Chains A and B, each alone.
Chain A
């Protein structure tokens, strides 16, 4: 399968981050047409027809999320989740840096669709350049009448606010994001109420991922059916896959959903010379490993879920035979231990404990009983935590023990990493 550049169609154009170049390549034409020719309900319908599923990781149908907003007269808000923090995922980063106006256009369309007079971008704090680019894009779009009072000369007005996070992975969880946006410590909220009924400042709120909102533009431009015709039946459209790891050309690649993993790897230049494929993490650090038997697996929500892992945010990390699974898994767990918000017991205590055990195992100190302990701890965390973080934190470690038990045992027998010893020796 070849790349299908929809969102990234103009990503390589020089200066596309500026308004003038973006407009020259058809930018904001869809917005103008939608605001003058389509009702908000038409826009919602197009997104419903497209079958677009949320690109932040959960894959919830976007059109349905928009339809949940209660019709009770309260002001509605749109929040863009741009807190991209999933290790191995850098597609939103790319979109923000290359196509800031696509995000602004998508947000304006979405805000129009749901009737929001205010919209917010919660941007990952580390994206300093992205912040400046978005600031500039918002200023340009406002000056050009694509934002602010009377968008495109219509009765519709939208205020778009840009807010930087302060460096917490958990603030990518939508309710923790809302708390953080309100100026509090970012901790997941109790659900229900869901953001659709009580979100930002208690108002009905839609929270969408950057890629999701960008996808709204081509969907409205070409129609929902057009989008739905791409990808698989249950995972329509295209998806930006962040390819990283032991690849010759790591980067973002846009394919139709369901692309075979092997095609993605090939697009990213394949493995380095002389290396062999060992494993892949198909959906960021929150996903379970797959091994060589799944090298041709269709990269869509449902197929990956059936294989016991997930597409998540589409961060594909490829590991070759030089990578120590124990070390890689330990590093991922260190990340989760560091990023756990600490609200609930299994996540707070469990990630620390597992990190401690994995650190010890990497040094070759342990027994097989520790592997069973890791599996049982994973079982005591997964499904027991307040939010989905717990499931994310244990997916990789549990699959590593199941798939690479011998590699762990080799660490005990070699009193350290056999791969490392090989290299040093």
Chain B
């Protein structure tokens, strides 16, 4: 340990600690702009200059490691003069447009000018003029005049994300941040640059000029878009969510958000929101009262009932929905409408912090950068800057990015490939990974039931620590499964329920928080099920194709409008608070199911019971859904996951492509970039061919965009007539 003194106070820190961190330990604030605790220092802004005895010049506290006996001064007159000098320099050319700047009122440059600045400027020259609204990407706009060149944004993209699209161009006083030639800031992590910007230079398209800090209140929330459960702060103005910021949680998100989470709040106020209960009268869905809707739903949901969905509800609502299922004879519930098998690890339930210690990471049919981006980002820090974990990706389609080895196999072969690897056979990199004596983290999408057993066996057989994280579930799929929203032994799973409904064997369907027509796999089934079932109730936050077919629609308050608990992929329960006004007369999900049950309960009671149930929930082998051996595989796409429309992110929705191996393309006579149609029975969808080295031979991979669920396993490619 190293002992040093700062402003006359002694402190003991680890060797290698930076002076600024040692000061922080003493509660001494040293002002900064470029310094960021998660990135390497650049010592560029010079705001953190401090006096260190026996060193001639002032030194940057952000880049100076401590030394034994070091004597640091942060309040000396020369330090104060340097701080005032740097601020005067920064403000000299900085536009004084604080009154119309989004950052005004929450701006480190303003705050530090008050705290350390000279009060008045001596600058009397014409100011530098640069671009005021320079688009860096679909979400991020740069005001080049406000930029203080701290390089936080450029360093974030390079060091943290590993996608160095932001660069400094030109030189000296003409330096500007820009995207590298031919690139665009389309990274799923782009929004973090806005939050890190210490001035109003980087602003977001959705929030630009929408609110001022004194108009807003900040409410704690939890991201509903994937099972990582990143912690959010909702910026709320007049009952409306205007912005999402990170609420740094070192154990989970480390202060980062993906753009799906950061900008995925537009649906709260989208026209598709359901503002009133609806009931079908004379073939039309018309608004009705809650009493009418609830009593209609209650009397209609009798007998053989299928309850589908629920992975996006609050834990409290899931608990009450399970109670409703238990009280209704013949009711079967399953949250796994997307074809998932489990949200819980079969064994070795992992924590995200396990990623920091991992020496090896195995991605099994998982694409964490798409499914759980912030978990991927955490892994990237290990790979790039930490223990340099080796990443092996296996599946019919593998991730592009961190994997140093890939093993491709046909859908359904995962378990045999993994079992063979455990027995020392197969791809050497995979064999080495499963047999490694280093801590192993397994990312698995949680779909193929055969892999459930194979992964359990892998965990059991390993000496070193093995952690499993399931990436393919809904944000609260863990909660749904733990609350028992899965079929019991002998009951039909979601796919079976849809089959039965399609045969007209069910009396009613209760569809909860999901657009079955978009989400459920295997073409046509869901449509037939909805058509053949005489009574369908949909409870959701937005109108969907499924809801359009319902007999009763129950409008739910969305995550930011209600109180509740989400359980993330680790089994961690987190509370989100009501931030915004609910749409119309929509109600919190737990309240709706309490009414359906006719139970007089309070949220506090239900939460206690639900959390107690969560604590005692055991991971039992879930009932398996249909076997996976299809030729056509649906793979998650970043901006289509989930069932809510997201206006802010529309521009990022990718082209619809069908990915295939080069060999497959040759066999089918198609070329990369060619427009073709995917045909399955009546369904015909136009797509573009994308040849990929990450797809196994004889397999077609489509995104989970709308419509792709209508394509069955046997969908075929039809080449459009080529113009000669």
Q: Which residues of A contact B (CB under 8 A)?
A: 168, 170, 185, 190, 337-346, 348-353, 356-357, 360, 373, 379-380, 383-386
Contact = CB atoms under 8 A, between A and B. Distances in A.
B550 interface: no
Contacts of A383: 56-58
A340 B126 CA distance: 20
Contact of A380 (B89, B149, B174): B89
A168 B257 CA distance: 38
Nearest to A372: B122
B81 interface: yes
Nearest to B174: A342
B46 A384 contact: yes
9 contacts: A168-B171, A341-B172, A342-B168, A345-B44, A345-B45, A345-B86, A348-B149, A348-B173, A386-B43
A345 B149 contact: yes
> Which range holds the interface residue count of chain B?
35 or more
B536 to A, nearest CB: 61
Given A190-B63, A384-B85, A344 B44 contact: yes
A384 B92 contact: no
Contacts of B58: 383-384
A340 B172 contact: yes
A379 B86 CA distance: 11
Given A185-B167, A348-B175, A373-B122, 15 more contacts: A337-B172, A342-B168, A342-B173, A344-B43, A345-B44, A345-B46, A345-B47, A346-B46, A348-B172, A352-B172, A352-B173, A353-B92, A356-B125, A384-B82, A384-B85
Nearest to A336: B172
B171 A350 contact: no
Contacts of A340: 171-173
A380 B173 contact: no
Given A190-B41, A353-B92, A380 B85 contact: yes
Nearest to A338: B172
B656 interface: no
A389 to B, nearest CB: 10
B272 to A, nearest CB: 47
A341 B128 CA distance: 17
Given A190-B43, A383-B58, A385-B46, A185 B126 contact: no
B125 A386 contact: no
Given A342-B175, A373-B122, A384 B43 contact: no
A406 to B, nearest CB: 23
B90 interface: yes
Given A168-B171, A341-B172, A345-B44, A356 B126 contact: yes
Interface string B355-370: 0000000000000000
Contact of B171 (A190, A342, A385): A342
Interface of B: 41-47, 49, 56-58, 63, 81-82, 85-86, 88-90, 92-93, 122-123, 125-126, 128, 148-149, 167-168, 170-175
A84 B559 CA distance: 63
A342 B149 contact: yes
A379 to B, nearest CB: 8
A308 B82 CA distance: 22
A351 B171 CA distance: 12
A345 B90 contact: yes
A303 B123 CA distance: 37
B125 A357 contact: yes
Given A342-B149, A357-B125, A383-B57, A349 B173 contact: yes
B4 to A, nearest CB: 18
The B interface is mostly helix, strand or loop, or mixed, namely loop
A312 B85 CA distance: 27
B433 to A, nearest CB: 29
B502 to A, nearest CB: 61
Q: What 3 pairs between A and B have smallest CB-CB spacing?
A: A380-B85, A342-B175, A340-B172
Contacts of B126: 356
Contact of A344 (B46, B123, B128, B167): B46
B121 to A, nearest CB: 10
A185 B43 contact: no
A386 B86 CA distance: 13
Contact of A342 (B57, B88, B172): B172
Nearest to B57: A383
Contacts of A346: 46, 85-86, 89
A10 B554 CA distance: 97
B174 to A, nearest CB: 7
Contacts of B86: 345-346, 380, 384
B175 A380 contact: no
Nearest to A341: B171
A384 B83 CA distance: 10
B472 to A, nearest CB: 40
Nearest to A356: B125
B42 A190 contact: yes
Contacts of A386: 43-44, 46
Residue among B41, B168, B173 with most chain A CB within 10 A: B173
A380 B82 CA distance: 6
Contacts of B44: 343-345, 386
Contacts of A349: 89-90, 92-93, 173
A185 B149 contact: no
B41 A350 contact: no
Contacts of A190: 41-43, 63
A185 B168 CA distance: 9
Given A356-B126, A357-B125, A386-B43, A380 B168 contact: no
A349 B167 CA distance: 19
A77 B226 CA distance: 50
B85 A351 contact: no
Residue among A341, A348, A360, A373 with most chain B CB within 10 A: A348
Contacts of A357: 125
A343 B49 CA distance: 15
A348 B148 CA distance: 10
A353 B125 contact: yes
Residue among A343, A345, A357, A379 with most chain B CB within 10 A: A345
Contact of B89 (A337, A345, A356): A345
B125 A345 contact: no
Contacts of A342: 149, 168, 170-175
Nearest to A349: B89
Contacts of B148: 345
Nearest to B94: A349
B563 to A, nearest CB: 46
A346 B85 CA distance: 8
Residue among B46, B56, B175 with most chain A CB within 10 A: B46
Nearest to B45: A345
A351 B89 CA distance: 10
Contact of A351 (B46, B168, B173): B173
A170 B175 CA distance: 14
Nearest to B85: A380
Given A346-B86, A360-B125, A383-B58, A351 B172 contact: yes
A346 B47 CA distance: 10
A379 B126 CA distance: 22
Contacts of A185: 167-168
A94 B253 CA distance: 59
A102 B167 CA distance: 40
Contacts of A379: 81, 85
A344 B122 CA distance: 20
A179 B175 CA distance: 18
A243 B63 CA distance: 40
A310 B387 CA distance: 48
A172 to B, nearest CB: 14
